[in-house]
Structure 1
């Protein structure tokens, strides 16, 4: 090896060390997920006897059959998809409209509205569960998916509104002014011009809302307490917890099933997710 080659190797050495450190960090970060997937293919005894080993002795695919059929996780997954998709649609439209009005329209009390929205960030979510349940019960929506959707989408979602505010402020006003001159109204300007331009932020809000709704536990538990058939996947995990024993391998299989849609959505929208965060912060 020549002297020039040695110099090039020494110059690249810090990058190799950084890459190795990042690889180790990534492995540590994803190891719990890999362990959960491996545990879903083990027997209940292997979960404890194998320890940190990721390779099952004989893959137990019946864990997935038990989770899907006996634990009714197929029904819970359908309920979760319905609640999550409906909640995401309502939150995106509502927060986009609120962000557009705050960012592009100068109205009396705008600063007060912003102050109230930011103040709600410091209110714990548990404090609102009692009035939510009381209101849903008075409206006859306590034990229904509709009531759960309205409860999940009716929160402030301040982070989503602020993302839209930051993004809409960076869009030139000439776009909306020219559309108004051509006779377009508020609805036309918003749905045909502003909302399509905010695709990166919409992807970001979609991912964040999807994650929070999909993983929600306390509110779906309260709304389905007397209707087990309306449970979501997070509440459905209770089916694997018995009075004296816990089906750990079945729970791992159910958790793996429930995480697959989340991983698929993030992989599909990760580019827009990063662009939306960067664009809102930059604006």
Structure 2
């Protein structure tokens, strides 16, 4: 046997297929497996483009002239950038004041909702008492009650307390709702935490509030971030209740209610309204980008529990 025969035999696999041919078959198999993933990715990118386009169009419209908003159609690039639209929204339409009102109402509402719903979720997850299942059932049932049906008793109670035309009354009304989703999220998350942590704290002499604020709440960081984002979105975009609370006090309007300032009797300032909408979206986008990691962890942890 010659040296050439030995080299040819050494390059042939026991199954009769040479290494280059086997590598090519493996590569083709990998390509076939990756093809569906590429198609899925392309489909998701197209869907994302359709999803994001309206928001990009609003930003584009905020930089256009009134006539160009209608003549440009679906075009995104303005012929001339008009920054005065933002100045008109911020100064002339008093959106600086509306932004401050909205921040105060939203932050205070979020704080109250987080504390109240966390306590309710903790008690429902850890304590057994008579009527516990009934309470949970009633909470779940209230998910199907439209918010508009409760506006009359809410306004009536707030008026009797003398808080109707005030930011305090608006905060109490927004934070005093059921917020059932937040309670259920906390309930599911606390149920998955080992009881040994609480037992160790009790041995050390900790009471209910100490265990709750110093043991349980730090562990519930992801679900708290989720509740913060959801409550922030709902309060920031609330329209009906703030509208009722600011009928006689225009200076207390929030951003969603103040948007009506661009609607005149015979015309609508579309570029100014688009600029105002862009300004109102910025805090929400920033908050979500900061808390998105904890938001998804909180959802996954609550569902898993």
Shorter-normalised TM-score: what interval? over 0.9
How far, CA to CA, are the matches of 1:121 and 1:17 in structure 2?
A: 38
Which residue of the partner structure matches residue 270 of structure 1? 292
- Give me the TM-score of the superposition, normalised by structure 2: 0.90
CA deviations 1:49-70 (Å, max 9, x no partner) are 0000000001110000000000
Residue 122 of structure 2 corresponds to residue 100 of structure 1:
yes
How far, CA to CA, are the matches of 1:21 and 1:4 in structure 2?
A: 28
Residue 232 of structure 2 corresponds to residue 210 of structure 1:
yes
Q: Secondary structure at the match of 1:245?
A: coil
How far, CA to CA, are the matches of 1:175 and 1:32 in structure 2?
A: 48
Residue 42 of structure 2 corresponds to residue 20 of structure 1:
yes
1:12 Cα deviation after fit: 3.3
Larger Rg: 2
- Give me the TM-score of the superposition, normalised by structure 1: 0.97
What is the root-mean-square deviation in Å for CA atoms of aligned residues? 1.4
Which residue of the partner structure matches residue 255 of structure 2? 233
| Structure 2 unpaired stretches of 5+ | 1-20
How far, CA to CA, are the matches of 1:190 and 1:46 in structure 2?
A: 57
1:9 Cα deviation after fit: 4.7
1:120 Cα deviation after fit: 1.3
Q: Secondary structure at the match of 1:115?
A: helix
CA deviations 1:203-223 (Å, max 9, x no partner) are 000000000000000000000
1:11-160 aligned at under 5 Å gives the runs 11-160=33-182
CA deviations 1:15-71 (Å, max 9, x no partner) are 222221111111000000000000000011011000000000011100000000000
How far, CA to CA, are the matches of 1:10 and 1:170 in structure 2?
A: 41
Residue 220 of structure 2 corresponds to residue 201 of structure 1:
no
Which residue of the partner structure matches residue 184 of structure 1? 206
How far, CA to CA, are the matches of 1:126 and 1:134 in structure 2?
A: 14
Task: Indicate the larger mover: 67-76 or 110-119.
Answer: 110-119
Which residue of the partner structure matches residue 4 of structure 1? 24
2:191 to 159, 165, 169: 169
1:123 Cα deviation after fit: 1.5
Q: Secondary structure at the match of 2:75?
A: coil
